[in-house]
């Protein structure tokens, strides 16, 4: 009773949880106006991403582009 579909589900759940935690502990800095803002966890998981960057929209100036998430502890 090891492996199989159940193991795949557990791995998928862990991956989703990791992304959610990572998203909740990071923010973005708009390269256009310098505003720092948080993206929602759903946004973090659902937005297109490329080379570690996420397509997000700045709530301050509405600039939309790929931005790298910055850890809140930095």
Assess 37 for contact with Zn ion (CB under 5 A).
Answer: no
Assess 33 for contact with Zn ion (CB under 5 A).
Answer: yes
φ and ψ at residue 67, rounded to 5 degrees:
-130, 145
Q: How far is the CB of 64 from Zn ion (least distance, A)?
A: 9
* Interacting residue with Zn ion among 7, 21, 61, 68 (CB under 5 A): 61
Assess 27 for contact with Zn ion (CB under 5 A).
Answer: no
Q: Applying CB under 5 A, which part among 4-12, 22-30, 37-45, 48-56 lies near Zn ion?
A: 22-30
Integer angstrom CA distances of residue 45 from 5, 6, 10, 41, 63: 23, 23, 18, 6, 20
Residue from 25, 29, 20, 40 nearest 71 by CA: 25
């Amino acid at each position: 009773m090891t492996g199989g579909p159940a193991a795949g589900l557990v791995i998928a759940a862990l991956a989703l949880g990791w992304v959610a935690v990572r998203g909740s502990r990071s923010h973005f800095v708009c390269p256009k106006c310098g505003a720092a803002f948080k993206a929602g966890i759903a946004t973090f998981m659902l937005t297109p991403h490329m080379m570690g960057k996420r397509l997000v929209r700045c709530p301050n100036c509405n600039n939309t582009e790929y931005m790298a998430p910055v850890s809140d502890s930095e």
